[in-house]
Amino acid sequence: MVSRFREGVGVSPKSRARLYSDQFHLTNEFRRITGVTPAAYAESVEVATFLPVEAAYTRGVSRAGFVLVALVLLGGAACGGARRVTERELTLYTHCGVLSAWVDGALWLASPPLSDGSGNPPPGWDYNDTPGTWRELGEGRAEFRARSGQVARFVRARPGQSDPAEGCE
């Protein structure tokens, strides 16, 4: 039997086939859980390098151990120094101007608030709701781009801050 746990020692064809099969299953499981492939996730969190599956197995890491290590590495990159940008479709309430946004239960404040000076949205913005794209840029900053091209910038509200659009009807 050929050992697959020591550096520089060959891997039998049967073990190699099992490694590739495990890599396929791990990729599919990752895609099922996250909705994206590991490579697409890596690009979204700007991870430069990965621990290859085959290298992990040749060093004796079990399937569960590899998944745990991969998720810790990917999660650490997303939370650490890498700049993570998330983007989604959002309809922004703009009846009284561009004042705030609620995204995933968190309050974001327009910085600066945008209005026509009379409690209405600025020129070019829809009167009630403006569809567009919400991008969280990291470090408590976000940007909203309306489909018609307007841009508003936001900062995450501090605990206790109130929604300036709360009284808007």
Closest CA to 149 of 121, 125, 122: 125
Q: What would the pLDDT profile of 67-97 be if each residue is shown by its tens digit?
A: 665 665 665 544 555 555 678 999 999 989 9
Are the beta carbons of 12 and 19 closer than 8 angstroms?
A: no
- Tell me, yes or no, if the pTM score tops 0.75: no
Per-10-residue mean pLDDT, the chain, length 169: 50 63 70 73 54 49 59 55 72 92 92 91 90 92 94 94 87
Closest CA to 52 of 19, 75, 84, 83: 19
What was the pLDDT predicted at 1?
Answer: 45
| Strand order across the beta sheet in which 86-93 lies | 86-93, 129-138, 141-146, 151-156, 106-114, 98-103
What was the pLDDT predicted at 34?
Answer: 72
Tracing tokens 């969190």 back to the chain, one arrives at 45
String of DSSP letters for 96-138:
T-EEEEEETTEEEEEEEEE--SSSSPPTTS-SSEEEEEEEEEE
Q: What would the pLDDT profile of 104-122 be if each residue is shown by its tens digit?
A: 889 999 999 999 988 899 9
